[in-house]
Amino acid sequence: MPTGLRPSTSSSCDAAIFRPIRASLQQRRKEMPKLSPLRKAEEIASTFGFEMAIVDLERLFSKEASEDHPLLRRKLAGPSAPFPAERYAGKPLRVAYQGIPGSYCQEAAAKAFSSIRCEAFPCSHMEDAFQALEEGDANQAIVPVENSIDGTIDRNFDLLLRHQDVEIIGELVLPVNHCLLSLKGTSRSDLRRVISHPQALSHCRAKLEGFERHLEIEEVPNAAEAARYISENRITDTAVIGSRIAAKEFGLEVLEQNFQDRSENFNRFWQLGLGAQHQRRELGDAWKTTVAFSLEKGVSDLFRAMWIFESRDISVTKVDHRPNRSNPIRVKEESTGDHKYFDYVFVMDVEGSASDSSMEKALKVLEEISGFVHVLGSYTCRLKN
């Protein structure tokens, strides 16, 4: 480490200087029960601010003594629990996926369970996959969460917040493979038209513009549905941009695979189950925990919530929010009158397992500034090709 990275006056900034502050904090905490509820809330926030600042300084001091930057260290530890293959030994695993046959979600289900016997079935309404779990029709469900170019599918957060028995038990990241599909025997020169979902079409815009002949482009709400349509109606002049599994489902030909313009195009899926169905930990698997919470003081305290994790070397990888439906509007009394704010439930992904001691501590501290804290799941993340 170059000497420039060490404060030249580190000896004069000994961690002992924090002792009187810590003592005063203890004193303030002792006196808290005597305060009015409003004062108490302010006092909690204020002492918490002190605490944060001290933890930060102490951590930075201790970092100076170490070659290893704590922010760059990763925790991969987590609980080891039976894999569904063992749990459901003998019986095929029943897996619900969102969408219809031929969808990218079916493809994800096939990849997630490639090594075990499973029966995957479609759920055309998103909520049906959650109900299938709750009613015991499915052992697991696969739902899409995010695309690296188009963003997050908020609706599945809402469903996960509503169906509190359902937990995230795994994450799967798959490179998108948009295939140019047509009837068997059709050649590229027969094509006059290409149809797909607007998102898939936008992912392939440059490829379509550079296609050897002009193709009429048509948007449809569902690419798998379109694949079934050209198959059933024997349409020879039209290609569909769809999944590889759609070709298999509907007997279509893959004219070209990886038809998308960009290689940084990935889909994230969640495996869902009814509590405690943890995946077997494999070497190199990273763990993630997803936690939902509200904040007593609203969005202004979100940095504190993140800090609770980051200051314990737990990296935050995503922060989402949904309306706080139990209390969507927060009214704050101010000198200029009452002010109304939209209020949210936050959904945060952090690296590590909920059973790590530092994560347990962080979750406990988070409760101090939250209306509620609910772990939506603690799970392994797999990147499949």
Judged by CB under 8 A, the chain residues 265 through 294 that form the site for its own copies are: 265-266, 268, 284, 286
Closest approach of its own copies to the CB of residue 173, in Å? 7
Dihedral angle, C-alpha 197, 173, 351, 78, nearest 10 °? 140
How far is the C-alpha of 105 from the C-alpha of 198, rounded, in Å? 17
- Binding segment (CB under 8 A) for its own copies, from list 3-11, 77-85, 244-252, 367-375: 3-11
Site for its own copies in 140-159 (CB under 8 A): 146-151, 154
| Cα–Cα distance list, 191 to 183, 213, 229, 240, 299 (Å) | 10, 8, 16, 10, 52
What distances in angstroms separate CA 280 from CA 74, 87, 385, one per listed residue? 19, 11, 20
Cα 378 from Cα 290, distance rounded (Å) = 6
Of 89, 337, 357, 385, the one binding its own copies by CB under 8 A: 337
Q: Which two tokens stand for residue 365?
A: 């501290």
Chosen residue from 251, 257, 342, 384 binding its own copies by CB under 8 A? 342
Between 119 and 219, name the residue whose CB sits nearer to its own copies: 219
- Write out the binding residues for its own copies, residues 25-44 only, by CB under 8 A: 25, 27-28, 31-32, 34-35, 39, 42-43
Binding positions for its own copies, 239-268, rule CB under 8 A:
262, 264-266, 268
> Cβ contacts of residue 24 below 8 Å, gap of 6+?
none
Tell me if 220 contacts its own copies by CB under 8 A.
no
Q: How far is the CB of 149 from its own copies (least distance, A)?
A: 5
- Record the tokens describing residue 377, joined without a space: 């799941």
Out of 296, 328, 360, 384, which residue is the one contacting its own copies (CB under 8 A)? 328
Please say whether the beta carbons of 290 and 48 come within 8 A: no
- For residues 48 to 87, the per-residue mask of contacts with its own copies, x marking binding by CB under 8 A and - elsewhere, is -xx-xxx-xx--x--x-----x-xx-x-x-----------
What's the burial of 155, exposed, middle or buried (CB within 10 Å: 0-12/13-18/19+)? middle
- The minimum distance between CB 382 and its own copies, in angstroms, equals 12
Considering the complex, what minimum distance in angstroms separates the CB of residue 207 from its own copies? 17
Please count the CA atoms within 13 angstroms of the CA of 319 that sit on its side-chain side: 15
